[in-house]
Amino acid sequence: MEIAEILDARGLLCPLPVLKLRKRMVPLAAGDCIEMLADDPAAVIDVPHFCAESGHEVIEMREGDGHQVYVVRKAG
């Protein structure tokens, strides 16, 4: 899996991480992956919900050093 873009959303609170993720995904090609770093506790719920509603796929969710890491594949 190749990451097309990295979005650092640390320090942002709901709904900003998901809004920035949505905006940064627009220019990506279908199938491209974006990695987002976030430390907002609500992102654990918001990111999977956004992906389910938009048809995108959460490839990975893991803990980083004081933040979460999300890898999302853009829907085709």
**Active-site amino acid positions:** 14
Q: What are phi and psi of 9, to 5 degrees?
A: -105, 20
| SS3 call for 67 | coil
User: Position 74: which residue type?
Assistant: K
Phi, psi of 21 (to 5 degrees): -60, -45
